[in-house]
Structure formats: structure tokens, C-alpha cells
Amino acid sequence: MKSPPNWRVRLYGQFELFSPDGERILLPTTRTEALVSVLVVHRRNGVSRDELASILWTSADPAKAKASLRQALFIIRKACPGLLDTQGHRCRISEDVAVESDYDDPSLRESQVFMPGMEGDWFEVHRSYEEPAPTVPAGLPVDGFLQLLLWLGDNDPANMLGLMLESLALVDGIGGPDIHKIIEKLPSTGKFLGWKHYFVGRVALGGNIKISEHHTKAAAVEALKNSDRDLLVYSLRDLLTLNVLLNKLGEAQAISKRLTEACARRKSPVGASANFLGKALILLHSGAQVEGFQYLRQSQDASQGVIEAAMMESLRAFFHLSYGEFDLAESRLQVPNRIGKEIGHDYLHQICELTRTTMMVKKANEDGVVDTLDLASTRADSLSSLHFRIYIKESIALRYLQSGDLRRAGRIATDVRKIRRGLSMAYTPWDEMRLAVHCYGAKRP
């Protein structure tokens, strides 16, 4: 098979674009250069016209921004025949060409500054991964924190709950049966009951969605009964997350409005962080990358302490990966991976493994694809979160499907169905995953 023509582009330092025959293409404006840079970064999935307009003409009237985008696309198509695919609502680099860029290969960079001179949130996000890493706070690691909670549970349940509420980021780091031991020590009366429902629902989020939804709704009811605004904020945030996972974006939007109202009454960083995170999840799941990352950054800025900030950073890494931005995802993982290892934080370990293993799947080349995907499947089986396991295995099945290996795709599909059997939902957050599941479910041998 004939190899596709190879274009070369430099995005760090002075923008440069070379055609397959080595000719340098001089685009007439910085906006047309910026447009090429956005499409190179997002060449896996492309970018909608509306979002391209908002990235490149942030302060312009929407109608004028779209007109400017059409003109810029016309200029690029004329200067670079065959480079772009602009049919339909989404624009992308054509699948018929190959692109070599210093975005994907850092060894090609002659500068460490991404698209210097270009303003806007999208460009700032892609320049921000040289931020200094925060230091791990002094204090108890997760194991020591667990032992303290267990002692308090036997001797002073009220203070145990107080410590849990002050250190929710550390509570999220307790994995396996240990967290169930702590929850069992909470009384099932008064204000304790609502928080007991909340923690049961939060733990079940990694397993059975129906159980998680039942207990989180019960927590919200108890919050209203006892006028516990913190519990109401956290319960609404997790209900919003549940509906995003279930792909019920209409219900998630409705809960987001209730969350905004609850946060307005409960003026605190806790409410602000939860509110911003809820909006980010809806937008990122819907494909509105720029606005979604803005809210995710605001949630991180409002987070309480280094550990919670590291958890937000791990989410940013995961969503960068989901949009095909491997370089940014890898960089974003450094801090949460380090903190997770140093303090034994289960959630940080799980999401770092999820992101790294999924990246391994997406970057698997044709020569070693079977060995790579077998290793990824083994790593997925080691994760305690069933939904993370499903996500990775569906990525593996899709990769086998793309390579034409229907037998192995069918085998992985069988594994996924076994995992789903005990769950109340099929966690397939991206449309291409759902399509892949349908295809290999229909064609398996």
C-alpha cells in the first residue's frame, strides 16, 4: 500500500509548514497558522466549526467569527491542497495525509514555547504544562489516615466524620474493603445517616451505578431534611457525575442548575469547586473542549489543598488524552502520579493507570499491536474500578477493530460484557466507543 504524503509542521517557536515535497508553505496571517495548529493538535477527532470560531476569534460576534473562519479555511485549502477535510460540521486534517509535528515528537522542538504570540485560553492551556510541580504536604499518608479514622470510629464517631469532611481528598484515596470498614462505623441516625448514604454511593460509583444513584439520592434527601448544605452540594455533584456517565446530559444540566443554586447559598470554596467541576464534566462530555477546560481549571483553582488539586490535574490529563492530546496528558500526569505514589492514594493511582494504559492503547503501532494490547488488557484487569476497566477494554477492542482483527475484538467484547453484567450501565463515554461495541458485537466470530 502506498504511504500517504507526509506534511511537516512546527508549532513550537516560529510556525513552519512544509508540503510533502519539502516546499515551505507561507500562510498569510497568524490566524491561518493558528487554525492549522489547532487542527494538527486535534487531528484524531477534528474540531467543530463553532468551537474553532470561539478558539480563534474569542471576542468577535459569532456570525462574524464564523465568516472569518470560512475565509481562513478557504485560504488554507488553496495554499495546501489535500491537507484539510472540511466537509460537514467538523474540520480536521485529512485522513489521506500523514503529519509529522513537534507537538507529537518533542525531540523536533527548537523552542519550548507553543505558538508564541497567539492569545486565548486554548493556547494558554497548551503552554501551561511547564508549570512548577507543587510539593507534597506534610502530614499523614493514606495508611496512617486510615488507622486514625478506624480508631476514631471505635471511640469518637462524631470526630471521625468531622475529620472525613475536612479531608475528603484523603478519604477518596482509601481503596478496597478499608473504606467499607470506615463507613460501617458511622451511625445510621441523625446527621450521620445522610453522610453514610453519601459515602456508600461514592464508593459504589466505581461498581454498581444503580446502588450509587440510590444512596446519593438518599443523601440529598437527608441533606434537605437536616439543612446540611455541604452534604447537599456534594450529593448534587455526584448525582451530576452519575448522569454524565449514563449519558443523560439533559438530567445532568437540570442537576447543574440546582447545584449552582445550592452553591450560591453555600458560599465556600467547597461549593465553588463542585459547581465548576459539574459544568466542566457536562461540557467536556459534550465535546466543548475549550469551555470545559476553562471550568475544570476554575475547579482546580478553587480546590482545597494539594491532594484535591492533584485529583483535578489527573482529570485534566484524562480529558486531554480523550481529545488525542498525548503530550499534554503525559505532562499533566506527572504531579498526581508522584503524589499518589508518595502517600498511597488509591484514586490517584487508579486514574493515572487508566490514563497511561489508554494512552498505550491509542499509541500502539501496527508492528507490536498485539503484544501492546495484551499488556494493556492485563493492566486493566488490575484496576479495582470496573468502569475504568471497561473504558480501557473498549479502547482495546476499538484498536483491534481498526486493525481488522475481529477475533481479538470479539474476545475483548466478551470480557466487557462479563464486567457489565454486574453493573447497571454500559460506560461508553465517547460515540466512537459505542459504535465500536456495536460493530464487534455484531461481527464477532
Looking at the DSSP bridge assignments, the partners of residue 8 are 18, 100
Average pLDDT over residues 388-398: 83
Q: pLDDT-based confidence at 34, cuts 50/70/90?
A: very high
Task: Out of 14-18, 403-407, 428-432, 438-442, pick the least confident.
Answer: 428-432
* pLDDT grade for 311, boundaries at 50, 70 and 90: confident
Which backbone phi and psi does 227 adopt, to 5 degrees? 55, 40
Confidence bin at 423 (pLDDT 50/70/90): low
Q: Is the pLDDT reported for residue 434 higher than 90? A: no
CATH 1.25.40.10 location in the chain: 157-303
State yes or no: pLDDT of 417 exceeds 80.
no
Window from 68-72, 146-150, 361-365, 436-440 with minimum mean pLDDT: 436-440
| CATH number of the structural domain 157-303 | 1.25.40.10
Residues 262-274 pLDDT 10s: 777 655 556 677 7
Contacts of 114 (CB under 8 A, 6+ apart): 11, 12, 103, 123, 126, 127
74: pLDDT confidence band, cut at 50, 70 and 90?
very high
CATH 1.10.10.10 residue ranges of the chain are: 6-130
| Residue 54 scores a pLDDT above 80 | yes
Q: How far apart are CA 158 and CA 144, in angstroms?
A: 19
Phi then psi for residue 48, to 5 deg, are -70, 155
The predicted model scores a pTM of: 0.62
CA dist 242 and 392 (Å) reads 19
CATH-assigned architecture of domain 6-130: Orthogonal Bundle (1.10)
> Which is more confident, 131 or 52?
52
Does the pLDDT at position 442 exceed 80?
Answer: no
Q: Is the pLDDT of residue 1 over 50?
A: no
Q: Is the pLDDT of residue 165 over 70?
A: yes
Q: Please give the average per-residue pLDDT across 338-351, as a whole number.
A: 83
Task: Give CA 118 to chain center in angstroms.
Answer: 25
**Residue 32, pLDDT score:** 94
pLDDT of residue 244: 79
Lowest model confidence (mean pLDDT) among 90-94, 133-137, 219-223, 269-273: 133-137
